[in-house]
Amino acid sequence: MSLVVDRRSLIRAGAFGLGALALPGGRAAVAQIAAARGFTHAVASGEPGADSMLLWARFVGAGADARVQAEIAETPDFRRVVAGGDTITGPWRDWTAKVTVDGLQPARSYFYRFVADGHVSPIGRTRTLPDGRVQRFRTAVFSCSNLPFGWFNAYGHTAARGDVDLGIHLGDYLYEYRQGEYPSAKDAVAARLLEPQGELLHLADYRLRYACYRADPDLQALHARLPFLIQWDDHETANDSWEGGAEHHDASKGNWADRRAAAVQAWREWMPVSDTPWARYDIGDLASLYRTESRLLARSHQLALEPVFQDADPAAALVRFRDGAWRDPARTMFGSDQEHWLASNMADSVRAGRRWQVVGSGTVLGDLQTPPGVADWLPPGAPLSIRARVQASLAAAKAGLPFNLDSWGGYPAARARLLTSAQHAGADLVVISGDSHNAWAFDLKQDGRAAGVEFAGHAVTSPGYESYFPTVPSADVVRALVSANPELRWANTADRGYMTVELSPEGATAEWLFVDTIRDRRPTAARTHRMRTATGRKQLLAV
């Protein structure tokens, strides 16, 4: 029996946590698995505070339920357990267990594990947030990890570091597509197989896909090494999701509310997260981090340009669209409750004397329009449908419209409200964002005045701009994009990896790290790029 078949059978049986199966010699691990019992997916931690931490594990018991106990200690031998707690899990929550422990010390590294029915989990390491004066804090930022496109070398590279305080995942932790759709079979890495093989529609589907992803050895290593803040974007449910549906969801796929509820339940079961949809995390006197939600709870339906270009007079219809529906102030990403919460919390952070207000966003905030001449980038023989789409994008750009209406560019009134609230608060705003698969750095402006900066992270594996124009040198693409977009200061449209953001009292510095490959498991990153801003400047500076 082949390794591929063995791994599939183990996934179907629920016997996970077997990172060795993805490594040379992995077949030997198969013989050691008798049943899907015990701790199956290593451990994870998240939702850090200065004195608390949420701990996660999955334990499949032999009965109808199981009591799981968490232990936390300052040394890996656990001679003195300093905190802990227990919970009961079972099939109603897919045997996942979460315990929040408190009474911890600020800026302290701890070891933790779970114990249940004679079983002991692997040991994880976590770290509380600092309190009081803070001189440096570094986060590692991830998004868009599509398993069949390649290996999670960005995760493996980060897990091997010892200088990161917190992981942040900005969404698309997994993808909902069926095997062979995105990526296609010809673009997929053969060893990176999905379970279930079909599209995710029901609770069992989402649970199994999380189990499949969390079997990845580099993802397990990263969760066992760092605490995380995690927010969803669209693919945790379905592509281009919004409050009332998604791009490819129709009646043939069931009721949207049922699908959304299933996706959210599985996400809350499998992620080291609280049930709070948005939250603030203070980094001592240095910064406030804001976890946000911009997909399922209040986002207005995305606009589309296709109907505009079907009008008898497309030019006039485009103007009506730009001055009407596109600018509609009722359209929202966050919803009024979250908008008010974020505005008041940024103001509170500034009054408390914190230097930085860091907002996590699922999609890019900076203004991005299609550059002139993009039609010349299409390869010979490009389908007429693609050429028509590019021409429509160029016409939209001439009218002042962005090329991605699923990002903040499709919600200009909501974007203006966010940036204006930061200006009124006197915030030193740093937006960190994902979704686009590419790396970007923006000076954010509102009403012609500086409002902050944005560090947008590239994908762990998902392909980006380069996949649309494979014959054009990436340097030419970037040069054209920067020239056409005044807010854009720098971009990389060709490489995968992750980003770090380091905060200090003097500045905020992003470093984009580009892995050497995703086609095989090799967690190395030799190339980087850095951008920074200084306290009070609200614009990017040369490094």
Q: What is the pLDDT of residue 30?
A: 31
Helix (H, G, I), strand (E, B) or coil at 45: strand
Q: What DSSP letter does each residue of 133-172 carry, written as one string?
A: --S-EEEEEE----GGG---HHHHHHHT-S---EEEE-S-
Q: How do 38-46 and 279-283 pair as beta strands?
A: unpaired
Token couple for 81: 């357990």
Domain extent listing, the chain: 1-36, 37-128
Distance CA(3)–CA(308), nearest Å, equals 51
Q: What is the pLDDT of residue 3?
A: 27
Q: What is the pLDDT of residue 1?
A: 26
Q: What is the pLDDT of residue 23?
A: 35
Q: What is the pLDDT of residue 57?
A: 98
Amino acid identity, position 170: L
CA dihedral over 217, 223, 228, 233, signed as positive or negative: positive
Torsion of CA 445, 448, 450, 452, to 10 degrees: -10
Q: Which fold has domain 37-128?
A: Immunoglobulin-like (2.60.40)
Q: Which residues contact 202 (CB under 8 A, 6 or more apart)?
A: 254, 259, 262
Residue pLDDT, tens place only, 255-266: 999 999 999 999
Q: What is the pLDDT of residue 34?
A: 37
Q: What is the pLDDT of residue 257?
A: 98
List the chain residues with pLDDT less than 50: 1-35
Residue of 531, 466, 530, 476 lying closest to 496 (CA atoms) = 466
Q: What is the pLDDT of residue 480?
A: 96
Q: What is the pLDDT of residue 382?
A: 83
The residue behind tokens 């392909």 is: 463
Query: Angle 203-213/3-13 helices, nearest 10 degrees?
Result: 130
